[in-house]
Structure 1
């Protein structure tokens, strides 16, 4: 009977360690995200899986210094915070962006301007305006699926398939 209890305790201990490691890894270090839609084509396509780095957004108070133009980020959608969006940082605080034909807007402190690489099929800052940095949940660092397209995501967009 003792051996059975000992095995049960050992199993529970390893289960707790595994669950704890998974929780810490996905909430504070990195998280796989399934992309949907065509707004980031050709960089990312529908059903691609990316790995997002969350360390700097969780532990570094001055994360806005680490967000750079060209970074691909995952953020909460301003229109629906329960939805995650994947976009590219087009402008950071202090930058000026042209919004429409005539108006220009300066990005306020603590905000970024996000756009999709495939602008014809992207709902982004052109619709919502500047996005608070607090909505960013992580930086996309790797495209991990489909495996044949495995790559490190850099801060330069590929040529878009805009029409």
Structure 2
């Protein structure tokens, strides 16, 4: 003959099950927060300033791991806080201490011409000039990129709000480096 179940044991199992669900949910939330805050996050790109590298509406994964601890590299694609409400994606052109200028559609860094293989030459409104001539001094009243700052440009030079308009970007405003596009699925790729 079986012994009758105690009425409290069913409630204990139910409470234990609920407690495990709460613990699991809390662990998932904490891990999600850590990953998004300190490791990786995703962004939707709005606008055409990074064409043809990144298209309007593409979703990208941004690597935040250790980026604030390392020196940025020339030509990194970065996400940064442009103001309180907006984050921008642009390409680093000038690093701290660099003297740079454009002449005849050629980038010069510290007096040496630098190839920009990622750019596609296109004719805009009948003009073959892709990047208008400028010097740092004309744009910013500075001869070189200040310490703790970078100079950024969009890949679509004729349609980009970048350091030519908003000035130098403080390195502590950089969120991270764009690594991968993941949406739409046919456009999944690593970003150079």
Q: TM-score, normalised by structure 2?
A: 0.73
Match of 2:161, SS? coil
1:134 corresponds to 2:134: no
RMSD, matched Cα: 1.5
Give structure 1 stretches of 5+ with no counterpart. 155-163
- Number of equivalenced pairs: 147
Distance 2:24 2:17 in 1: 11
Check the 8 A contact 2:136/2:144 in 1, yes or no. Answer: no
Alignment of 1:150-161 (within 5 A): 150-154=188-192
| Residue matched to 1:144 | 182
Q: TM-score, normalised by structure 1?
A: 0.85
Residues 70-95 of structure 1 show CA distances to partners (whole Å, capped at 9, x for unaligned) of 10000000xx2221100000110111
| Residue matched to 1:27 | 37
Give structure 2 stretches of 5+ with no counterpart. 1-10, 103-132, 138-142
Change beyond 3 A, Cα 1:43–1:101: closer
Match of 1:140, SS? strand
Alignment of 1:30-69 (within 5 A): 30-58=40-68, 60=69, 63=70, 65=71, 67-69=72-74
Check the 8 A contact 2:91/2:154 in 1, yes or no. Answer: yes
Match of 1:25, SS? helix
Distance 1:41 1:21 in 2: 34
Distance 2:38 2:135 in 1: 42
Change beyond 3 A, Cα 1:103–1:41: closer
Higher Rg of the two aligned structures: 2
Check the 8 A contact 2:45/2:57 in 1, yes or no. Answer: yes
1:113 corresponds to 2:123: no
